[in-house]
Amino acid sequence: MPNARSALAVRLEFAPGALVHANLSGAAFTGDWLWVAGDEACGLDRLRRLPPVGREQLRFGEVRDFPLADLLDLPGAADEEADLEGMAVADGYLWVVGSHGYKRKNARPERSHADNARRLAKLALDGNRRLLACLPLETNAQGEPCLVRQAQDGRRALRLKGDAQDNQLTRALADDPHFGPYMALPGKDNGFDIEGLAVDGQRLLLGLRGPVLRGWSALLEIAVEPRGGQLRLLPLDDSGTLVRKHFLQLDGLGVRDLHFSGDDLYILAGPTMVLNGEIRVFKWPGARTALAANREPVCFEPALTESVSLPHGRGTNRAEALCELPPGLAGSKPQWLVLYDAPGEDRKDGEYTVFGDLLRRT
């Protein structure tokens, strides 16, 4: 019998060889099924709700992999990581977004000074990081939700038009006065780094971990439509605006995840760079209505309500994923699921089991 944790612990049981193991960066529910993404894989995992252990409230396991290469013609190689950072379920699709940013090699203690200097100067862009896609959800004969390349009703898996170097979004931002200068900087160096996704019909919100500009964090609003077997950017207004910018005061923190709950938008925020610092959840009341009514290309949004601060460790337990539990799982009191990147030993049970948290939604 595994060690039981508190009633606020959510047990996730993975398996040897699973695409995702520990570094969780995105989460979404379809009923009793939990979908998770990791920032070091090129695919998603689906976990089934199982009877809980001890006092724990929720347990998920019986993992199944869904490699993205089986669902999409990827911009990069099938085994190249996608660095998936945002997920959302809407209108029969599971939406995913990669970080879109460059990465920098890190120094290693076993290497020489000269070797580490070369490593620290080396930048790379994995083509699959520049991925924004919608994947059809379809129930199989066993009653299980699955991701498919094409559903029986004609829905197809689609990604934003582009290749391993650029897509329509990065091209639209290349000359942007706010974000253009940051497009070639690594995400962990306050460069361009998408880490949140929320969907409202054709409108998508992309939350930026970086850059944070003079303390202002940003959401990018875009609209997409299927055309020619791909997703294409759709103008947001009669002036042809393709990207609308929303600047937020998150006390200098960058966006780590986004989630719509009714008319409100909840924002998980943490340090932009590789720092051990505060992680918080902010609430933007009435965001859905405000976004639908707005026509300005650049907006500075009113002060947001801080909902809760989350625990974090030194180099561990960085909250990366936030999503609301379905009513059938949450019971009478609305609750959030929070999942963590770099889980510490206190969030592990053996090699393939990690723990998230349940939080009361405010």
Alpha helices in 122-259 (DSSP H): 168-173
Within a domain: residue 299? Answer: yes
Within a domain: residue 346? Answer: yes
pTM: 0.95
Residues whose CB is less than 8 angstroms from the CB of residue 346 and which lie 6 or more positions away in sequence, other chains included: 313, 317
**165: its two tokens:** 């170097």
Within a domain: residue 2? Answer: no
Query: In this predicted structure, what is the pLDDT of residue 102?
Result: 95
- For residue 339, CA distances in Å to 9, 127, 197, 290, 362 come to 10, 26, 15, 29, 18
Q: Are 282 and 269 spatial neighbours (Cβ–Cβ below 8 Å)?
A: yes
* Dihedral angle computed from the Cα positions of residues 18, 20, 22 and 23, in that order, rounded to the nearest 10 degrees: 160
Residue span of the structural domain in which 327 resides: 9-360
Q: Considering only CA atoms, give the Rg of the chain.
A: 20
Query: In this predicted structure, what is the pLDDT of residue 121?
Result: 96
* Partners of 35 in beta bridges: 28, 46
- For residue 42, CA distances in Å to 79, 104, 132, 351 come to 7, 19, 13, 21
Within a domain: residue 285? Answer: yes
How many domains does one find in the chain? 1
Residues whose CB is less than 8 angstroms from the CB of residue 117 and which lie 6 or more positions away in sequence, other chains included: none
**How far apart are alpha carbons 245 and 247 in whole angstroms?**
6
Within a domain: residue 89? Answer: yes
Q: Around Cβ 238, how many Cβ atoms within 10 Å?
A: 7
Q: What is the CATH number of the domain that holds 55?
A: 2.120.10
List the pLDDT tens digit at each of the 362 positions of the chain. Answer: 345 566 678 999 999 989 998 889 999 999 999 999 988 889 999 999 999 988 888 999 999 999 999 999 999 999 899 999 999 999 999 999 999 999 999 999 999 999 999 999 999 999 899 999 999 999 999 999 999 999 999 999 999 999 999 999 999 999 999 999 999 999 989 999 999 999 999 999 999 999 999 999 999 999 999 999 999 999 999 999 999 999 999 999 999 999 999 999 999 999 988 777 789 999 999 999 999 999 999 999 888 887 788 877 787 788 899 999 998 888 778 889 999 988 888 889 988 999 999 988 76
Q: Are 87 and 37 spatial neighbours (Cβ–Cβ below 8 Å)?
A: yes
* Partners of 213 in beta bridges: 216
Within a domain: residue 3? Answer: no
* Dihedral angle computed from the Cα positions of residues 321, 144, 92 and 228, in that order, rounded to the nearest 10 degrees: 100
**267: its two tokens:** 């924002």
Q: Kindly report the backbone phi and psi dihedral angles of residue 4, in degrees, each rounded to the nearest multiple of 5, phi listed first.
A: -85, 145
Within a domain: residue 4? Answer: no
